[in-house]
Structure 1
């Protein structure tokens, strides 16, 4: 076959076109380690590090670096890492802080790709230490080196034997990845784990996170086959967007359990904002955890309880627990803990009660908790568990045993072993000491976790169902956004209003202006008229119809009720004139006459069955814009019934925010009052979240009260505060979760002239994707997936939900959509996806085009747009694995500048397509070669 310039055989010289090793492999899978600062001084960090590395073989070579010694602990030492004759993957640095920048420079020059900086004395000591960190990071990034630390204990990989720490012992191998910001806590946990026989896949002291942060490590452990769950001890979150992006993706496969220190620390308050005064930073962090499926616990013990339980037992579907006990008091204590923690007692079905009546003594409790009495033998326990497990009203079971004269804890445990693989979680509380120890071992080995006390077991169950609840939000398909129904927001109009206020040097919008911004985003507001004089106020009232409300219109005053600036229920021209004069006089008496700029006139809204709500947003220093929903009105800070969330929202996430409040129960209808239209309220919150993320100059926004009644939802008042004018646009806080990337939307036409909309995918597209897969041929499916993936697998809800509900920070999927000629409804013609490959700056693309539109240029156009996105997002390469027989896709790739690389293995069914978008500075010479 004639050689082609765009087809390459496998050739190691073409390094730009070869697969890349993950960046953190240099730290966690090093082939060689240099200990810089190695020492023989007893008790020194340098000596302990070297000893731990050589006494726990990890399959690599260890090089001591010490310019004052020729050998350390009998191993040849080198004056500098540059003098080591072999390549070094990992440098463990334990030299004084002022020397570290120079050491890092030498590592970069020697080609070292990973470093763990043990040394302290950086930003924790002040500005001088901060400057040292900046120097180190600049040098490391220039050389493509990743750093854990500084001021850390180090890292362990017990499954491989790597111990690059100065801890006194090595952790046992296991399946838990543990990351901690506290080195002292890490050593305490290590001692505890050895006593309790708990093992770890990785044991990481993250230090001050100069470079490698939570997101990097969560991604790495998420792809690590040895890690089954990830637990975190967190003091600060660092890069919030990186953490949320990694956590959301990994939590779908592996539990992430976190304990966050400092939750009672007083957060900074926004002096004039209702939302700011309600939104504490720790609550924002909890909202972020919920949004990503991360489980937050309150104690270190709970970290390990949950890691064990989630590894052994299925997650409950809901909060309903059945308690099975041989002691009434223990059952009551468990019930108290369950209900106080937000769980529910399962209501036994009549069928379950009848079955229990058949074999339980007449005096059993006849309800839940199921008290099977103190003389219960192992068979009674087993039969009662079997019957209650089958009850569909229950989501999980807790079996309590107290040692009594007729009790056999060991044999009871033997009888219950066979239920360990139930589809519902089973927890046990074998209360007592030596007498129950054997039974506890039997249950634990079988996979049924045991707890000393029933209230501890119940607390764990409450964590479990909340964890399930949060994860389900990542799968639930939201309804179609309103911008597909009513034309969407008028973003330009809102932006013009905000820009006009900024040009006038103001940061506070008037109520009138704020309501115009809300209207631009299709949020319902009361009709509002401006009046500078009493005559204008009367004219406006006549136009709107009595009764009306007069409110102060001021460019300076934010809360009108505080200055007597609201007059209600005005039913005549005379009443309007009196109210106008009263508002003006109230300001004059307070010495604020210059703050009177007139009034607004609004109809007096009467809603007998309505509720006053608040929706708002403020800025969190870590997470950027944060949303608030709750009970509103003038006593909003007193009742403090609210929920926080991160924008942007979809309808599912909006409903989840509402469900966290007490007022939500009232909104569903109580005591004969009709319910509020919750679907409409959901969509209003989605539009509000759009406003928050698309208008970044807004610093604070309150809609209070938002009147929600069965027949209407309307904003009665609104307040918007902008960021200060001296803030640069690039300094504006950005959302922690990247919003929908509208900049990648665009129209195009097929070769036959059919117009299509090409846009990023969104969570609401799942039903359209189901229809899309129904119209694919087996050949198209095979060429895309390299196997004949069944239709039922392709359209499974959990699979499609994950493909639609993506993180735009690390993945971009474009869909080509048109109006069906038969039905007029939207339909998807093609999907093209660009996914950033973790640990590299590469993206991998994949594409699937419906058979009836193949050959019309759509695949080429989609790939061209993916290349543009890759360039805009700063990727270095775009790659893809393509079946050898997929000639059409290879042709499209060649046309757009990809190189096609064939393996030297003739049996390999795939070729690799590679397009270099930009070459990093450290590899420019390689590219030229």
Structure 2
């Protein structure tokens, strides 16, 4: 969100907050106080537990605060002393003569709840609890934490910690930690759950001259978590990138919402401890055994545009390179070197981390032949030989930089007798930002190349001691670009319309309710397929047979050949107990198969597990066996799985994980993570399957997972994907399905929540406007980008002026980067409603109006709204109706205060607000008035 009026008047930076609703009914956001300002920029600090005892935490805290001037006043709190380190001390925080912004607490854990209570009573807005002895100490510590949180919630006190190192704000000089040194100032925001790692990183940063805009130890994250800090640093103009050492995700939805919003403008790089944590050991479905928690975390990071790295050094390498160089548009790297060995090492590292070597075109080879000796490698890596001088390096780089097949360049230099590292670096300076693609360098040789490295770094070309490190950095850069592109690529509206299948949800409800009443957790295959069919997912038809005669009767109706499968309410993996018989071509084969399944199951599992068989047609068409499924993750709730299926699914483990809900773009990105994806597109003369249909099936399946919350695990394995041939149209069909429900003792309020809030269909309804048309008012969708382009084309200059306080060209307002941020929201921090009209004669759809509600960063109790009505449809009641609905959404979301800053000339918006109960008051800016309404009293 924008930070002041002037910024909104003079720039389009307000768009990053997604407060986009464009037209006469609009708002302007003014300077907003963030509660975390009390922690990062306090004017007064109380050190509770200040001490003169050498080596004590209380003494170090006080000394760090007073020896690093931050422009504020420090008040030691110690009831046993009149002064500490020569500064007047106070018996309690109540005795301090000034209002306290920040309390830094270093007293024994049992004393902290009372101290927090005192802080709330005095109106203190921020606290850092350094003290240990809380949840890490067991049940008693957990109880203390809950007491602290209960006290903090009485006011608006925000807490960092407990059990943390503290907070540094190097740019202002604030050092509210017990670290031995102060961090250098810079533009990297560093967040860590580990205090010990903080001190190690601090020592390393001082040696490497890395600077920070913020240096935060979060500790137990009792109150302030990842989401709060990501939003805060995202709004901080001094922070260019955010690096995180993470041990646990905490509030998954908060993290994903914040990271997704901020990652587009500021890189977020994470190293997560515990990568080798074992997956769930017991699972009834294939998905449950395949979706390990670390794989889910990777999927979550991809979904929100966060880059995950494996080494601490890579955290800061990536922060540097993403600040200096453009992101690559693809995975292909050109390596230019004067030595073969380093080029090979770089190639290995590149391929191992997901990058590719840029192919050598005939044009590129021909151009290099003209300037290089005949012995050059004639391949990528481009080895220009050990005697390469500055001129040869420069000419080769100039040619390689123009290669359209390349997405990035790595220049490697090894010091040899005829090599001048400094002069070659000088020659490369003009190309630092001319190629439109990242340029990295590896100047090998220590002191001999130091001067050249300095020249390159000063020009914004990052340098690395080893070429494999540089190659790995490039792969990370591409992964970051790929993740962001997936988030903001415009999807298409599925042709498998989930809404059209709502009428079939009664079937699903009946099946699930009957199973729960029978206290069953495993549905039969027949029931599972009925659920899929209710959502329009194609399944193999079949019938249930309780004896051999009934099986024969079913087979006769279906037509031979047929398949018999175990019908059981307890056994989920039928092949494990001999419960599947294939390719049965006559009555005798069916009877024999029935008896074989019955006897085998009774022998291996027990007679009570055999209830008969299902009879299905034998699918004779060859295709690809896939698996689509969903299971639960402890941190992120329901997760989705896609990959190669069949009986050996756990052996091959070719799978991708994603978080629901999906759209078509996210579904395709999920498929791209697997090896079978390439085969599905057609190999060895086979046609491609219908990839669009598979994308849309994944979207519908994710909708099933979102809506049917009683389902704990679900598999379609195999889903047969058949490419078209002259004799068969191809298609998708579920051959087997498995559904596991939550145990009967689980209540509705105990069901796991989705990490990403799904499309809020409860806010979809029709509404008549004054001219007789009926419009659909609904939450905005990512697929609405083309409609938003047309919407902006209907706006007058006055409308644009009211929205932005200055004129913005249409070409700027409808850029893809801007509109995707408007249309692709997470529905948790904001809600945007559109009024859509579909012409009954032509079927053409258009958006007539937009209204948006956005929670304020750092204070979810307050929100702002914005509205815009197309010029042709003003005075039709749309503005009033949209604002009414936003007010109701605000109440549903427990918003305390809804507000907007409105241009004083925008009389129409002011009248609408007054009619709906808003208070209109002047502001310090005479061109703006404020509209406010309390939703919860």
- Is structure 2 residue 925 aligned with structure 1 residue 913? no
Matching of residues 246-325 of structure 1 within 5 Å: 246-325=258-337
**TM-score, normalization: structure 2?**
0.95
Deviating more after overlay: 776-785 vs 637-646: 776-785
Q: Aligned Cα RMSD in Å? A: 1.4
SS in structure 2 of the partner of residue 474 of structure 1: helix
Q: Distance in 1 between the 2:218 and 2:278 partners?
A: 25
Listed one character per residue, the Cα deviations across residues 681-727 of structure 1 (whole Å, up to 9, x for unaligned) are 00000011111111111111111111111101110000000111111
SS in structure 1 of the partner of residue 412 of structure 2: strand
SS in structure 1 of the partner of residue 792 of structure 2: helix
Match of 2:649 among 629, 636, 647: 636
Match of 2:733 among 698, 711, 714: 714
- Is structure 2 residue 798 aligned with structure 1 residue 779? yes
Q: Distance in 2 between the 1:533 and 1:491 partners?
A: 31
- Is structure 2 residue 686 aligned with structure 1 residue 673? yes
SS in structure 1 of the partner of residue 245 of structure 2: strand
Partner of 2:589: 575
Listed one character per residue, the Cα deviations across residues 805-826 of structure 1 (whole Å, up to 9, x for unaligned) are 1010001000111112562222
Matching of residues 519-668 of structure 1 within 5 Å: 519-590=533-604, 592-608=606-622, 610-668=623-681
- Is structure 2 residue 752 aligned with structure 1 residue 740? no
Partner of 1:229: 241
Contact 1:82/1:109 (CA < 8 Å) preserved in 2? no
- Give the gaps of 5 or more residues in structure 1: 1-16, 920-929
Contact 2:577/2:605 (CA < 8 Å) preserved in 1? no
Match of 2:814 among 795, 814, 827: 795
Contact 1:270/1:277 (CA < 8 Å) preserved in 2? yes
Partner of 2:10: none
Shift of the 723–59 alpha-carbon distance from structure 1 to 2, 3 Å rule, reads: same
- Is structure 2 residue 205 aligned with structure 1 residue 187? no
Partner of 1:455: 468
Q: Distance in 1 between the 2:203 and 2:643 partners?
A: 45
Partner of 1:688: 701
Partner of 1:404: 416
Partner of 1:873: 893
Contact 1:89/1:112 (CA < 8 Å) preserved in 2? yes
SS in structure 1 of the partner of residue 386 of structure 2: coil
Shift of the 772–485 alpha-carbon distance from structure 1 to 2, 3 Å rule, reads: farther
Match of 1:884 among 904, 918, 922: 904
Contact 2:66/2:74 (CA < 8 Å) preserved in 1? yes
Contact 1:482/1:488 (CA < 8 Å) preserved in 2? no
Deviating more after overlay: 833-842 vs 859-868: 833-842
Partner of 2:342: 330
Partner of 1:66: 78
Partner of 2:18: none
Return the offset for 1:241. 0.7
Partner of 1:204: 216
- Is structure 2 residue 396 aligned with structure 1 residue 384? yes
Q: Distance in 1 between the 2:340 and 2:605 partners?
A: 68
Match of 2:852 among 833, 839, 847: 833
Return the offset for 1:534. 1.7
Return the offset for 1:49. 0.3
Q: Distance in 1 between the 2:30 and 2:378 partners?
A: 69
Contact 1:118/1:151 (CA < 8 Å) preserved in 2? yes
Partner of 1:473: 486
Contact 2:284/2:740 (CA < 8 Å) preserved in 1? no
Return the offset for 1:918. 1.8
Shift of the 763–591 alpha-carbon distance from structure 1 to 2, 3 Å rule, reads: closer
Deviating more after overlay: 834-843 vs 201-210: 834-843
Structure of greater relative contact order (alpha carbons < 8 Å, 6+ residues apart)? 2
Partner of 1:842: 862
Match of 2:362 among 331, 334, 350: 350
Shift of the 897–19 alpha-carbon distance from structure 1 to 2, 3 Å rule, reads: farther
Q: Distance in 1 between the 2:696 and 2:731 partners?
A: 13
Partner of 1:857: 877
Partner of 2:923: 903
SS in structure 1 of the partner of residue 526 of structure 2: helix
Partner of 1:499: 513
Return the offset for 1:270. 2.9
Listed one character per residue, the Cα deviations across residues 837-859 of structure 1 (whole Å, up to 9, x for unaligned) are 11122111111111221111111
SS in structure 1 of the partner of residue 864 of structure 2: strand
Partner of 1:52: 64
Return the offset for 1:84. 1.0
SS in structure 1 of the partner of residue 720 of structure 2: strand
Q: Distance in 2 between the 1:486 and 1:144 partners?
A: 42
Q: Distance in 2 between the 1:821 and 1:545 partners?
A: 45
Listed one character per residue, the Cα deviations across residues 546-590 of structure 1 (whole Å, up to 9, x for unaligned) are 111111111111111111111100111221111111111112223
Return the offset for 1:351. 2.0
Count of aligned pairs between the two proteins: 900
Return the offset for 1:679. 0.6
Listed one character per residue, the Cα deviations across residues 854-882 of structure 1 (whole Å, up to 9, x for unaligned) are 11111100000000000100111111121
- Is structure 2 residue 404 aligned with structure 1 residue 419? no
Contact 2:501/2:534 (CA < 8 Å) preserved in 1? no
Q: Distance in 2 between the 1:483 and 1:757 partners?
A: 20
Q: Distance in 1 between the 2:609 and 2:793 partners?
A: 64
Contact 1:818/1:826 (CA < 8 Å) preserved in 2? yes
Return the offset for 1:786. 2.1
Contact 1:287/1:645 (CA < 8 Å) preserved in 2? yes
Return the offset for 1:354. 1.9
- Give the gaps of 5 or more residues in structure 2: 1-28, 724-729
Contact 1:326/1:376 (CA < 8 Å) preserved in 2? yes
Partner of 2:458: 445
Q: Distance in 2 between the 1:476 and 1:243 partners?
A: 21
Contact 2:279/2:290 (CA < 8 Å) preserved in 1? no
Q: Distance in 2 between the 1:92 and 1:702 partners?
A: 51
Contact 2:578/2:597 (CA < 8 Å) preserved in 1? yes
Listed one character per residue, the Cα deviations across residues 608-632 of structure 1 (whole Å, up to 9, x for unaligned) are 2x11111111100000001111111
Match of 1:128 among 103, 128, 140: 140
Match of 1:762 among 771, 781, 785: 781
Q: Distance in 1 between the 2:363 and 2:351 partners?
A: 25
Listed one character per residue, the Cα deviations across residues 364-396 of structure 1 (whole Å, up to 9, x for unaligned) are 122211111111110110111111100110000
Return the offset for 1:591. 5.4
Deviating more after overlay: 529-538 vs 88-97: 529-538
Return the offset for 1:484. 4.4
